[in-house]
Structure 1
Amino acid sequence: MDGHLDRRRFLQGTAALALGLGVGASACGPQGAAEGTPLKFWNLFTGGDGARMMELVTAFQQARPEVSLQATTLSWGTPYYTKLAMAAAGGRSPDVAVLHLSRLAGYAPAGLLDPYDPALLAEFGLTASAFPAAAWQRAQHQGLVYALPLDTHPLVLFYNTEICGKAGLLGPDGRLLPLRGEAALLDAFRRAKQAGAQQGVVMAVSADINPWRLFWTLYRQQGGELFDPAATRLVLDEAKALRALKFLRAITVESGVARGDLNNNAAVAMFGSGQAGFFWNGEWEMPTFVEQNTPFDVIPFPAIYDTAGVHGDAHALVLPHRADRDPARTRAAVDFVRFLLQHSLTWAKGGHIPAYRPVATSPEYAQLGPASRYAAAADSLELDPPCWFGGAASELQNRAGAVFSQVCAGGLTPEAAIPEFTSAMRTLLATPRPQL
């Protein structure tokens, strides 16, 4: 680095840290690549997702031997986003990176991403008609496309086919009978427990981000908004929020069908070992149950209220800001993105719904079994509100989760949770947006 740090670069670094870590945190990010080095790709995938992504990277290297590509995996969440923001703030970022689409509102307006060239997207066939409408809309900022969704990954409802069969919850085709409304869902959970399950349903509701995801699903199904369109003012509908929280409390505290103190690992283990009739979580857990030979199937999360909206997100491919962006390297980067999208059937085997419509509507995807049975959820995806402090592993999710987890554990009533939640949201709204 230079021997001095001017004011602009200092402010860029400070803002990037706020976007990566949240209010008041700090860290150090890596330097990007200079011209002439391999095309650099950053991602945050480990486990099965990591293996599938490396399979795609290897396939690209074999198909494009003339392109030198270096893939780097960084830790999911705060560490990843801090390093990506710092690299982009300095203009020395990787050529391509993965970004949760819910994070775009914090990155594109701050100048941390470069937009895709519309002519290049059209040439490569990467236009609006190739993606789900909701995801495509969130991929834009000021009329320009800043992200290309690789997938959508919503919350879904897993069910143990053996337990639900004993409980009389399956139809002649062996699939779960339709569920609609609070009473029907609670009744299904009770019947699963009466059929021998230790828990009617398991959910990750300890102090993490999942309670926010569950709340947002139920709140958005009622049409509730959290902020005004500019994300400058809280517009919480307290009646709808209270209804959602009361239902979560009914499941985890009052009905006896679920525990309100499980973390994600415990919930996954209980369902995978046949101790629960249902499991409410993200579709990304599906490979675990396949590997364990758990007797299960999966459906989109039911419409409990007015719509079938469900919390979810999308892994998207972005062009982090580079001060020395070269047209030839950018073209190679977009070609790599197109390759990932065209071959995203491999990615879908991990449970994620392909965002690229030619794959999502293909016969091959339809034959993936459980992985294709909740594809309709892509059209009902409810991402976090588009604010700079929202999205995956964000301050919004963490602060909301800290409040709502207490409701699920029985330590806080839904009525008492509303003012705590609104106070946390107003604090975030009052925090100045980082300026570059």
Structure 2
Amino acid sequence: MVSEQRLFSPDSEPVQSGHFTRRDFLGRAAALGLGATALASILSSCGTTALGAGKTHLTYWHLLGGGDGERMLEMVQKYQQANQDVDLEAVTLSWGTPYYTKLAMAAAGGRPPDVAILHMSRLPMYAGSGLLEPFDLSALASNNISQENFVAPVWQKAHYNNQLYAVPLDTHPLVMYYNIDVCQKAGLLDSTGKLLPFQGEDDVLNAFREAKKASGNLGISFPVGDPSSCWRVFCALYGQLDGPYFSADGKDFILDEDKATRVLDFLLRMSKEVGSTTADYAGSVALFSSGKAGFHWNGEWEVTTYQTQKTNFDMTLYPNIFGGQQTWADSHALVLPRQNAVDSQRRALSIKFISELLKNSQIWAQGGHIPTYLPVATSGEYQKLTPQSHYAEEAKHVVYDPSVWFAGAASEMETQAGAAFQAVIGGHLTPKQGVKQFRDAMIKQLKTPTPF
């Protein structure tokens, strides 16, 4: 039998000591801006865990929509077909802040799902706030999940205070798309039809100039009107310069202003000379799919968009512009939100569920995300998956968001940084002014109390 877990309510205290009190729960709900309606939504999402006849009930939360949602559904269905003794309830919640707020408050109340998806860039806040439980390495190993099954940078990022708090499902990096027809006309392909190598500021800009001539419009498109995209591009290039953000203890902002200014100088020059200073996300994607831009910088998740539109394209690693192959990336990871009381049977089934998602991640890879589970990533089946396998090496060069509580997917850091850099590319601020705006915003965030 699955042990009964009491729903945390404002009228009672948690059963276990060491967990949040009623005052903590309500106060932190207020800190996140949740009113009565939002709290009701959280609690209803947690619900009571009704059991099918003779089945153990597991709950799984994620924020995946569109093509990702469809592929996750397929993976969940494969699990259900193979595990008839488990009543798995998979719940899809709204992407971004709504999801992360609900997940945090459910864990704070001691009534979260058994398993949840978390962007790894969000791990420092959730693990550091006591909202997640570390994995038992022996339990993972018994399900063929261990360090040697993952590339080092991704496995390392899954830790907090030397404990494993996440099992990464994928790496989704910033990559470079190229239009084969435009690049062929521009003389940028070799005899096999692959992109000729180029690196460094001048070589990259020269290649984009040739592509601009061939396309008759732009050499490069990326979503300059989207703050998140501006942050990702800056993060990649600043990472190639090994630029720091915060001190080791996370208390001081130590941005190298010269390196940051150099990155923004390049992006402004590139956008003016061979790109666009105004294209929003959808416009940037449309410019590339229609052949009006020879190259495109974006996350690999647009691969199915261009395949559906039958664009003649390929994909490759993000270019080495400042002396390194680093690129921005994040990962979808599987985590164990903190429970008031852990039921050993459900926990064992949760680990097995996570392992089966990893083993079926060839399905996940079709949407562009690089599978982190090496038995899949190194398989012949994945190597035949094109163009997805053409940038698989990117997983070794990833730069994640800084490890501070206000960083990560759909975070305040992403919003503030992206807005400052977007203003530079749009011509509203100079690169130095953009760096100053970014610095001021980050210092303000450092002075803001954490919500947990």
TM value normalised by structure 2:
0.92
Deviation at 1:382, TM superposition (A): 0.4
Aligned residue number for residue 230 of structure 1: 249
Moved more, 263-272 or 243-252: 263-272
Deviation at 1:207, TM superposition (A): 4.4
Aligned residue number for residue 66 of structure 1: 85
Deviation at 1:3, TM superposition (A): 5.5
**Secondary structure in 1 aligned to 2:130?**
coil
Distance 2:26 2:62 in 1: 21
For residues 127-146 of structure 1, the aligned pairs below 5 Å read 127-146=146-165
- Check if 1:307 corresponds to 2:311: no
- Check if 1:9 corresponds to 2:16: no
Q: Deviations over 1:294-322 (max 9, x none)?
A: 00000010111121110010000001111
- Check if 1:362 corresponds to 2:379: yes
Q: CA contact under 8 A between 1:13 and 1:90: conserved in structure 2?
A: no
Distance 1:357 1:94 in 2: 27
Q: Equivalent pairs: percent with the same residue?
A: 46
Aligned residue number for residue 204 of structure 1: 223
- Check if 1:376 corresponds to 2:393: yes
For residues 160-171 of structure 1, the aligned pairs below 5 Å read 160-171=179-190
Aligned residue number for residue 193 of structure 1: 212
Aligned residue number for residue 30 of structure 1: 42
Distance 1:2 1:52, change over 3 A: closer
**Secondary structure in 1 aligned to 2:173?**
strand
Aligned residue number for residue 451 of structure 2: 434
What letter is aligned with 2:124? A
For residues 39-118 of structure 1, the aligned pairs below 5 Å read 39-118=58-137
Deviation at 1:274, TM superposition (A): 1.7
Runs of at least 5 residues in structure 2 that lack an aligned partner in the other structure: 1-7, 14-19, 52-56
How many residue pairs are counted as aligned between the two chains? 429
Distance 1:396 1:8 in 2: 29
Distance 2:60 2:300 in 1: 25
**Secondary structure in 2 aligned to 1:68?**
strand
Deviation at 1:417, TM superposition (A): 1.1
Q: What is the aligned counterpart of 1:293 among 294, 306, 310?
A: 310
Q: CA contact under 8 A between 1:197 and 1:277: conserved in structure 2?
A: no
**Secondary structure in 1 aligned to 2:333?**
strand
Q: CA contact under 8 A between 2:226 and 2:281: conserved in structure 1?
A: no
What letter is aligned with 2:24? L
Distance 1:342 1:2, change over 3 A: closer
Aligned residue number for residue 277 of structure 1: 294
For residues 354-433 of structure 1, the aligned pairs below 5 Å read 354-433=371-450
Q: CA contact under 8 A between 1:197 and 1:274: conserved in structure 2?
A: no
Distance 1:169 1:13, change over 3 A: farther
Q: CA contact under 8 A between 1:17 and 1:85: conserved in structure 2?
A: no
Q: What is the aligned counterpart of 2:259 among 240, 257, 262?
A: 240
Aligned residue number for residue 259 of structure 1: 276
For residues 214-229 of structure 1, the aligned pairs below 5 Å read 214-229=233-248
Distance 2:349 2:390 in 1: 34
Q: CA contact under 8 A between 1:242 and 1:414: conserved in structure 2?
A: yes
Distance 2:418 2:294 in 1: 25
Q: CA contact under 8 A between 2:208 and 2:219: conserved in structure 1?
A: yes
Q: Deviations over 1:61-98 (max 9, x none)?
A: 00111111011111111111111111111110011110
Deviation at 1:268, TM superposition (A): 1.1
What letter is aligned with 1:310? T
**Secondary structure in 1 aligned to 2:89?**
strand
TM value normalised by structure 1:
0.95
Deviation at 1:182, TM superposition (A): 0.9
- Over the residues paired in the alignment, what is the CA RMSD in angstroms? 1.6
Distance 2:123 2:116 in 1: 12
Distance 1:2 1:82 in 2: 17
What letter is aligned with 1:12? F
Q: Deviations over 1:241-292 (max 9, x none)?
A: 0100001101112x1x111112211111221122211110000000000111
Q: Deviations over 1:152-207 (max 9, x none)?
A: 00000000000000000001110111120111111111111101342111111114
Deviation at 1:14, TM superposition (A): 4.3
